[in-house]
Homo-oligomer: A and B are copies of this chain.
Amino acid sequence: MKALVYLGPTRKGFEDRPKPEIATSTDAIVRITKTTICGTDLHILKGDVPTCQPGRILGHEGVGVIDSVGPAVTTFQPGDRVLISCISACGKCFYCRKLMYSHCTTGGWILGNTIDGTQAEFVRIPHADTSLYPIPEGASEEALVMLSDILPTGFECGVLNGKVQPGGAVAIVGAGPIGLAALLTAQFFSPAEIIMIDLDDNRLETAKRFGATGTINSVDGNAAETVMKMTAGRGVDTAIEAVGIPATFELCEKIIAPGGTIANIGVHGTKVDLHLENLWDRNITITTRLVDTVSTPMLLNSLRSRKIDPTLLITHRFTLDCILDAYEAFAHAGDTKALKVIITA
Contacts and interface: CB of A to CB of B under 8 A. Distances in A.
> Is chain A's binding surface mostly helix, strand, loop or mixed?
loop
B166 A188 contact: yes
B281 A289 contact: yes
A273 B213 CA distance: 33
Interface in A284-303: 284-290, 292, 294, 297-302
Query: Which one of A167, A192, A294, A307 has the greatest number of beta carbons of chain B within 10 Å?
Result: A167
A192 B305 contact: yes
A43 interface: no
A274 B272 contact: yes
A189 to B, nearest CB: 7
A25 B266 CA distance: 41
B190 A244 contact: no
Interface stretch (A92-100, A138-146, A324-332): A92-100
Interface stretch (A2-10, A53-61, A70-78): A70-78
B286 A286 contact: yes
A129 interface: yes
A285 B261 CA distance: 10
Contacts of A301: 167-168, 192
Contact of A99 (B99, B168, B307): B99
A190 B307 contact: yes
Interface string A157-175: 0000000011110000000
A311 interface: no
A142 to B, nearest CB: 20
Contact of A285 (B71, B97, B166, B287): B287
A144 to B, nearest CB: 15
Contacts of A271: 273-277
A166 B189 contact: yes
A249 interface: yes
A183 to B, nearest CB: 14
Interface in A210-259: 213, 244, 249, 258-259
A138 to B, nearest CB: 14
A302 B167 contact: yes
